[in-house]
Amino acid sequence: MRILLIEDHTRLAGFIRKGLKAARFNVDLATTGLSALEDVGRVRYDAVILDLGLPDMDGLDWLSQIRALDIKTPVLILTSRVQLQDKVVGLNAGADDYLTKPFEMDELIARLHALLRRPLPTLGQTL
């Protein structure tokens, strides 16, 4: 399974990448929203882990852009924004799951597995 991790905090990105690799995920790292848009446009990812606090754009703007392009890749928001309203906004913007920092690696991996068990909608299918 190939995951795009969008996280600008170097140490945290390394920790997440190491944990996901130990769980047998292939992980590509993007540290900016722009580079992540380029990556998701050229590579088919099984899931995306998205931090909302990116240096060049808000993660919610990034999410809106890929959803507008009809990219249906499951997106798990991983952020320090912990308020209920933040979660509601993120999920309503098109995220498939929302996990707050700090987090446990086992929970992140379990949530990724849960997302990956869901079938993607096919063309013409109504949800």
Q: How many CA atoms lie within 13 Å of 16's alpha carbon, on the beta-carbon side?
A: 28
Q: What is the pLDDT of residue 119?
A: 75
Percentage of residues in the chain having pLDDT higher than 70: 94
Q: What is the pLDDT of residue 9?
A: 96
All residues at 6 or more sequence positions from 1 whose CB lies less than 8 Å from its CB, including other chains: 24, 25, 26, 46, 47, 112, 116
Residue 107 burial by Cβ neighbours in a 10 Å radius (0-12, 13-18, 19+): exposed
Output the pTM of the full model: 0.92
Each residue of 19-46: pLDDT tens digit?
A: 999 999 999 999 999 999 999 999 999 9
Q: What is the pLDDT of residue 118?
A: 83
Residue 8 CA to chain centroid, in angstroms? 13
Q: What is the pLDDT of residue 125?
A: 45
- Compute the Cα dihedral for 44, 74, 53, 18 and give only its sign: negative
Helix (H) or strand (E) holding 3: strand 2-6
Mean pLDDT of 108-120: 91
Distance from C-alpha of 125 to C-alpha of 34, rounded to nearest angstrom: 30
What is the token pair recorded at 104? 């446990």
Residue at token pair 């928001």:
77
Mean pLDDT of 76-88: 97
Each residue of 83-97: pLDDT tens digit?
A: 999 999 999 999 999
Q: What is the pLDDT of residue 108?
A: 98
DSSP state of 56: S
Long-range contacts of 81-86 (CB under 8 A, 24+ apart): 81/52, 81/53
Using pLDDT thresholds of 50, 70 and 90, give the confidence band for residue 126.
very low
